[in-house]
């Protein structure tokens, strides 16, 4: 998949994160509700982050998307599939981050479904993981709606995280 390929879901336009998205990513991470989970970011930090994501798209063909409303163009958030070192090995991971005003409207589930479709239908993955802080009940509920099964808790830098896994569906 090329890093300039845009995907459409029923309500979203998903664009592979590229340097042109730095302003939008910074706005997203400056949302106080998002900063609670992702900390505070500076402009240089965001620019480095979008370069890292764009490089992953170029070199690996997979990473996160910026998510925009298809009708209004409003920035909803970012999310999708990426490769992460999780629980001691490299795995495909799906995740999402939304502006607070879009929480509870099904957008995280929609982004998650797009990431899972890419993993299983295009990349032929056997499984995908998702993880979040143990206390993040909202994201855990999205994982369960998507069909993920809780596996265990694990630590990242001393913080407890919950690991979820979903296996590919058998061929029909």
- Looking at the domain assignment, is residue 89 inside a domain? yes
Question: Which residue range is the domain that position 79 belongs to?
Answer: 7-124
Helix, coil or strand: residue 52: helix
DSSP string, 54-79: HHHHHHHS--EEEEEETTT--EEEEE
Q: Is residue 19 part of a domain?
A: yes
CATH code of 65's domain: 3.40.630.30
- Whether residue 162 is contained in a domain is answered as no
C-alpha–C-alpha distance, residues 57 and 40, integer Å: 25
Q: What's the pLDDT band for 39 if we cut at 50, 70, 90?
A: confident
pLDDT above 60 for 1:
no
Q: Is residue 62 part of a domain?
A: yes
E strand spans, the chain: 7-8, 12-16, 64-69, 75-86, 89-98, 127-133, 149-156, 159-167
pLDDT tens figures, 48-100 = 999 999 999 999 999 999 999 999 999 999 999 999 998 888 999 999 999 99
Instruction: Report pTM.
Output: 0.92
Residues forming beta bridges with residue 155, ordered by sequence position = 160
pLDDT in tens, 96-112: 999 999 999 999 999 99
Q: Answer whether residue 13 is part of any domain.
A: yes
**CB neighbours (10 Å) of residue 118?**
22
- Domains: count for the chain: 1
Domain assignment of residue 161, yes or no: no
Please report whether residue 131 resides in a domain.
no
* Contact between 78 and 96 (Cβ < 8 Å): yes
Residue 38 contacts by C-beta under 8 Å, 6 or more apart in sequence? 29, 97
* Residue 150 in domain: no
């Amino acid at each position: 998949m090329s890093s300039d390929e845009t995907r459409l879901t029923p309500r979203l336009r998903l664009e592979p994160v590229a340097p042109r998205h730095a302003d939008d990513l910074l706005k997203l991470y400056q949302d106080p509700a998002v900063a609670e989970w992702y900390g505070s970011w500076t402009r240089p930090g965001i620019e480095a982050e979008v370069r890292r994501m764009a490089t992953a798209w170029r070199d690996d063909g997979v990473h996160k998307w910026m998510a925009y409303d298809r009708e209004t163009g409003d920035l909803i958030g970012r999310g999708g599939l990426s490769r992460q070192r999780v629980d001691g090995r490299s795995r495909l991971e799906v995740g999402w981050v939304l502006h607070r005003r879009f929480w509870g409207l099904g957008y995280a589930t929609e982004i998650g479904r797009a990431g899972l479709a890419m993993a299983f239908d295009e990349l032929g993955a056997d499984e995908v993981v998702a993880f979040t802080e143990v206390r993040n009940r909202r994201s855990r509920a999205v994982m369960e709606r998507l069909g993920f099964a809780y596996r265990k808790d694990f630590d990242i830098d001393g913080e407890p995280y919950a690991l979820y896994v979903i296996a590919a569906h058998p061929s029909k």
